[in-house]
Amino acid sequence: MKSASAFESAKRRMKERPQPGSLRPMLAVLARPAAPLPGKGWIFEPKLDGQRCLAFRLGRSARLLSRNGRNISGNYPELVHALLAQPAADFIVDGEIVALKRGLPSFEALQPRMQISDPGRALRSGIKVFYYLFDLLYFEGHDITALPLELRKGMLGNVISFSGPLRATPYGRSGKGKAIFREQCRRGGEGILAKRAGSTYVQKRSPDWLKFKCAGGQEFVIGGYTEPGGAREAFGALLIGYYRGGRLVYAGRVGTGFDARTLKDLFERFKPIGQKAPPFADFGESKVPREGVHWVRPELVCEVRFGEWTRDGLLRHPSFKGLRTDKRPEDVRRETGLDGPGFKK
pLDDT digit string (tens) for 94-129? 999 999 988 889 999 999 999 999 999 999 999 999
Instruction: Just list the catalytic residues.
Output: 47
Query: pTM of the predicted model, to two decimals?
Result: 0.83
CATH 2.40.50.140 region(s) of the chain?
216-331
How would residue 1 be classed by pLDDT, with cut points 50, 70 and 90?
very low
Neighbouring residues of 40: CB distance < 8 A, sequence distance ≥ 6: 174, 344
* Residue 198: predicted pLDDT: 95
pLDDT of 343 strictly over 80: no
- Of 35-44, 210-219, 248-257, 333-342, the poorest mean pLDDT is in 333-342
pLDDT tens-digit readout, 126-149: 999 999 999 999 999 999 999 999
Pick the CATH number of 4-213 from 3.40.50.2300, 3.30.470.10, 3.30.470.30, 1.10.150.170: 3.30.470.30
CATH 3.30.470.30 region(s) of the chain?
4-213
d(CA 190, CA 181): 9
**Of 229 and 76, the one with more pLDDT:** 76
Q: What's the CATH architecture for 216-331?
A: Beta Barrel (2.40)
